[in-house]
Amino acid sequence: MIKAGVVGATGYAGNELVRILMQHPEVEITDLTAHSYVGKKFNEVYENYRDINEMVCGDFNMERLAEKCDVVFLALPHGVASKVVTEEILQKTKVIDFGADFRLKDADIYEKWYGVKHFGKDILKDAVYGLCEVNREKIKGKQLIANPGCYTTCSILSLRPLVAEGLIDLDSIIIDAKSGVTGAGRGLNIANMYDECNESVKAYKIASHRHTPEIEEQLGYAAGKKIVLQFTPHLIPMNRGILATCYAKLIKNVSYADVKAVYEKYYKNEYFVRLTKEGVFPETRWVKGSNFIDIGFKIDERTGRIIVIGAIDNLVKGAAGQAVQNMNILFGLDEKTGLELVPVFPV
């Protein structure tokens, strides 16, 4: 059995991770830590675990976890992992970081966008960006995995085949993305209160969202050149889900069948990537509670653009599910192990 520790277990992503790991046939959760709930039973924080999970939340001690666990999941905000993950820690355990500390290869770009100092520059080169469908071979055998962000997972997987095959003008990419409120975390914030966001939709972090350089960097690898794109996130009054509507100018005369063949080239054998039928477009309700990403597209012959739509559950494929998929790769398991979750509807 893989011994796993979950740091930040009582956040939304941490809770989702616990739910998935408890159903994983090859995992034993040895430790749950939660800064605000030390000494409390996990099922006192989340009543849905009553009589199911009797574990008590402990304090966070990275050295102790490294000695005890085969893998440590850090479901924490940015700025923490780079302080506690060291070469010595990585000699003892594998780390899957939900935060942004090891996603960007340039620490200066990280510090510019996140506004905090990066303390792990010496191990940044050893981190692998854990987008499984893209970096599967790079992930195998590694010790430090940077779990991608939710907006980024949806946006990159939706656009990557078009970028890699040179079908679109890279300077024309616009990503218009919407997220459920859980994407903002479980902390108290007036802007995320029910009566503040219900019956309203708003754009935020316009031209400044921190996932922008992550999307640009990863799509840049696919293109073989630097990419600068427009990314605008929106908050939607629903619990969970990401819908990314991506626009780009086509530079080749292609048909629906041509584009479909390109997507099948990259994703035909990817269990968690589902291409919708022609004329059917992704909706968040069809992926909730699952590790799937649904992708659909339409060519607008009038404007010469292609519109690609991607949908994921931000807490599963955008966080906890992808982390477990990464863990499965690290330990040589079938990627689907513990993740064959049928989307929940209605919810």
Reply yes or no on whether 150 is catalytic: yes
* Domains of the chain by residue range: 2-126, 151-312
Q: In Å, how far from its chain's centre is CA 2?
A: 22
Stated pTM of the model: 0.95
pLDDT reported for residue 35: 87
- The CA distances from residue 276 to 47, 117, 259, 292, 295, in Å, are 36, 42, 13, 12, 6
Dihedral of CA atoms 98, 101, 105, 110 in degrees, nearest 10, equals 130
pLDDT reported for residue 318: 97
pLDDT reported for residue 304: 97
What is the spatial distance between Cα 227 and Cα 229, in angstroms, rounded to a whole number?
Answer: 6
pLDDT reported for residue 192: 66
Tokens found for residue 40 = 């409390």
Cis amide leading into 346 (omega within 30): yes
Tokens found for residue 61 = 């001690």
- Sequence-separated (6 or more) residues with CB below 8 Å from residue 16: 315, 316, 319, 320, 321
Tokens found for residue 270 = 């990817």
Strand order in the sheet with 128-129: 27-33, 2-7, 71-74, 94-97, 144-146, 128-129
| DSSP string covering 248-316 | EEBSS---HHHHHHHHHHHHTT-TTEEEPPTT----GGGTTTSS-EEEEEEEETTTTEEEEEEEE-TTI
* CATH, domain 2-126, list 1.10.10.10, 3.40.50.300, 3.40.50.720, 2.60.40.740: 3.40.50.720
pLDDT in tens, the chain (347 residues): 999 999 999 999 999 999 999 999 999 999 999 988 999 999 999 999 999 999 999 999 999 999 999 999 999 999 999 999 999 999 999 999 999 999 999 999 999 999 999 999 999 999 999 999 999 999 999 999 999 999 999 999 999 999 999 999 999 999 999 999 887 666 656 666 666 778 889 999 999 999 999 999 999 999 999 999 999 999 999 999 999 999 999 998 999 999 999 999 999 999 999 999 999 999 999 999 999 999 999 999 999 999 999 999 999 999 999 999 999 999 999 999 999 999 999 88
pLDDT reported for residue 183: 75
Which fold would CATH assign to domain 151-312?
Answer: Dihydrodipicolinate Reductase; domain 2 (3.30.360)
What is the spatial distance between Cα 5 and Cα 230, in angstroms, rounded to a whole number?
Answer: 37
Which residue, 334, 113, 95, 70, is CA-closest to 231? 113
Residue 247 sits at φ, ψ, to 5 deg, of -120, 140
Residue with tokens 């071979």: 137
Q: Which of 57, 69, 150, 154 is catalytic?
A: 150
